[in-house]
Each structure stands twice: as structure tokens, then as C-alpha cells.
Amino acid sequence: MSIFAAPTDAPRRDLSSKLNSKVLAMPPSGIRRFFELVIGMDDVISLGVGEPDFATPRCIRDKAIKDIEAGRTTYTSNYGLMELREGLSDWLQRTYDISYDPASEILITVGASEGLDVALRAIVNPGDEVIVLQPCYVSYGPAVELAGGVPVLFPTFQKDGFRANLEELQKAVTPRTKAIMVNYPNNPAGNTFDREDLEQLAEFVKKNDLLIISDEIYAELTYDKKHVALSSLPGMKDYVILVSGFSKSHAMTGWRLGYTCAPPEITAAMVKIHQYTILCAPTLSQYAAIEALKHCDDAVSGMREEYQKRRDLIVQGFNNLGLKTLVPEGAFYAFADISGTGMSSEDFCMRLLAEHKVAVVPGTAFGACGEGFIRASYASSLERIELALDKMEIYLAT
Ligand code: PMP
């Protein structure tokens, strides 16, 4: 036995009083909690995780191998490689008709996750309120709290296509409101915002003199129509912090590469936080992203077409089973109404997992207004989706 190994029966020090009370009080993510149960179970058909089931396109992987061989392993500028920021600036202009200065308005981050974090920490003063449209990605509320702010959770509903009722939203605005957080195409609801929705939102934000953190990470996975960037609307650039990344569009979750686009003052503030905590996003991933922007349009559209086939299968399947599901306009999630079963979201998912080994996520993981819903990710093969639907048919019949 190593002389450094502690005796197993040594009493442990109680460290809870040493922890940050905000962190201590924070519940674990509803998705993680659920997937603790899945780990360790054999043969589970998981429609749970929110990540592409494709490997990163071959050309990106090949380029990264060459970059390793070439020893591209040092730090980059805090903002990220200029070549990547320039490439991104061109790509954003071409794709979404938005112009961002690569020198002062773009920051390369460790996934969209870091983008959301630095955006909030750059603008929130203690006690500032940030309105979070729900259902939403699990990190939003906790990220606001960790930034010292107060999340104001604002529900949206299936009957409204998960769009915010602006009259109600107005009531949520107080003198302490600093910003609104939105995500479209939406995780978990799958809806997106059209130009008209965005125009109304833009007017609202201007009228109330707010900022808006716009998480558009699923923009490239928009079906049947073209994504409209909020900051492309006239006069909106000074109101928007755009957060996005390569995780979903280019199947690059593990590369941890995202970006923010924002006015120079806000970008400079975000860079301060980023330089003291992160230094720079992973260098090899930045080189890989340059390749992704140059040579991957076909790979991205190929994945999008595949997701669309899966979407059609799962949405029809759920609706046939009597679980009302709106057709997702983007992302890769179907958000199905299970309230007719009389079960809570949590019970529905627990029993489905225990009795039929199919994993989906309770809607409540995305906010209280997700009660009565489940989220199923269709970033899974057509065969597995069909199998899951067959098992759910048996489950619902019994
Ligand atoms: N925003 C949304 C809406 C997401 O669904 C996710 C990932 N599930 C993220 C941000 C985080 O993305 P990244 O991997 O780039 O950090």
C-alpha cells in the first residue's frame, strides 16, 4: 500500500461550510440527474442526450491531425485566432447578412457555454434581473445566478407555439431588468422565431432599453426556412449579444468551440473575463473551425437532411400515439405533450426507462412550464427511433 493512501476509516472533514452558498443551494441539472440512472443500465435506447450522433466531418478531423503534426499547440490571442475571426465574420455576412468586425466584435469561446457565461458576467451587476424565456436549456437560470443576477423565469406555452406573450412579458420588466435570454431554434421545444416574431421582440427590447442574449447555436439546423439572426434587424446590433458555436452544426461538441458577437464595449468586457479565466479557446479546435467554415457546407446540409427525416418520423410517431407534438422548425428535439396520460413528466420518464429501457427527458428539466411534456432527441438513427416508438406504443397501451 502506498504510504500516501489515507486509511479508509479516517473521519472526513465536513467541508460544506467552506462552499459557496449559492452553489451549494443549486440543484443538479434535471438532465444529469436523470442520466445518472441511465448509466449502468444495459441496452437502453437513449433519446436523451442533446448532441449529434454523427462524428465530426472527416475533413475537419484530417485537418486537425495535420495541425497536431505541425505542432500548432501554443496559445492564441485572447480573442481567438484572427484568421478564424475573419473567416467567421465573412461567413456571418454571407449566411445571415450580419456584419461584425473581427478585430473588436468577435470573441472565440470554449463552446457556446462559455459564451453565455461571459456574456452574463460582463453585463450583470449584483441583483440585476435577467428574464429567461422557458422552457429553456438547463444552464440559463443557474448561469444568471452564478453571475450574481436574479433569473426571472418566464413561461411560454405549446398553444402559443412557445412564443412569448409580450403583454405578459412587459409585466415581468422592472427597473432592475438588465437583459432577456432567448434561444431559437429552441432546445427543448424545437420552435424558432420568424422575422415577424423577431421584429416584435426587437421593438420590445428597444422600448424597454434592455439587452438581449440571443443563443442561436441551432441556427444551421433550421428546417424548411432560413434562420434570421436577431442582430440583422435594423438598429439591433447595439442590443444583441449573439452566442453560437460549432457543437451542433458541425458535430463538434467535444472540441469545445463557440463564439460571441457583440458591440465592441461588451466584447472588450467579455474578453477581460475570458483572459483571466480561460486565456484562449483550444488552439487545435480554432484551426479546425477555420476548416469547418471553409469546406463543410455539404457535410452540414447532409446532417441537416438526415435530422429532418428523423424529425418527420418521430413527430408523426408521437402524434399517432396521441402525444401532441408540434413540428420542430429547428434543432433536434421533439417536445411531446404527455399530459393526457395523467402521469407527471418525471413519472412518465422514470417508468418508461424502468419498464421499457427507453430514455427521454422530463420536460420539467427545462422549467416548471415543461410539466406535462417530455423531450426526445432525434439525434439518433431512424432504426433506434422506430424501436423507441414501438416500445412507447406498448408502454402507453398498458
Ligand atoms: N445552448 C443551447 C441551447 C444548447 O442546447 C447547448 C448544448 N446542449 C449549449 C448552448 C451549449 O453548447 P456548447 O457545447 O457549444 O457549449
Ligand 1 pocket check for 111: Cβ under 6 Å? yes
User: In the 8-state DSSP scheme, what is residue 5?
Assistant: S
Residue type for 8, please? T
Q: What is the pLDDT at residue 184? A: 98
Please tell me the distance between residue 119's alpha carbon and the centre of ligand 1 in angstroms. Answer: 14
Give the predicted TM-score (pTM) of the model.
0.96
Please tell me the distance between residue 210's alpha carbon and the centre of ligand 1 in angstroms. Answer: 23
Question: pLDDT tens per residue, the chain (398 residues)?
Answer: 455 665 667 899 999 899 999 999 998 887 877 788 888 888 999 998 888 999 999 999 999 999 999 999 999 999 999 999 999 999 999 999 999 999 999 999 999 999 999 999 999 999 999 999 999 999 999 999 999 999 999 999 999 999 999 999 999 999 999 999 999 999 999 999 999 999 999 999 999 999 999 999 999 999 999 999 999 999 999 999 999 999 999 999 999 999 999 999 999 999 999 999 999 999 999 999 999 999 989 999 999 999 999 999 999 999 999 999 999 999 999 999 999 999 999 999 999 999 999 999 999 999 999 999 999 999 999 999 999 999 999 999 98
Ligand 1 pocket check for 215: Cβ under 6 Å? yes
Please tell me the distance between residue 113's alpha carbon and the centre of ligand 1 in angstroms. Answer: 6
Residues 6+ positions from 187 with CB-CB distance below 8 Å = 50, 136, 137, 218, 331, 333, 366
Q: How far apart (Å, rounded) are the C-alpha atoms in residues 362 and 35? A: 11
Cβ-count burial 157-174 (b if 16+ within 10 Å, e if not)? ebeeebbbeeeebeebbe
Helix locations, the chain, DSSP H: 21-25, 30-38, 58-69, 82-96, 111-123, 140-146, 166-172, 195-207, 264-277, 283-295, 297-320, 345-356, 382-397
Q: How far apart (Å, rounded) are the C-alpha atoms in residues 376 and 171? A: 32
Q: What is the pLDDT at residue 6? A: 59
Residues 6+ positions from 245 with CB-CB distance below 8 Å = 109, 111, 112, 115, 217, 257, 258, 259
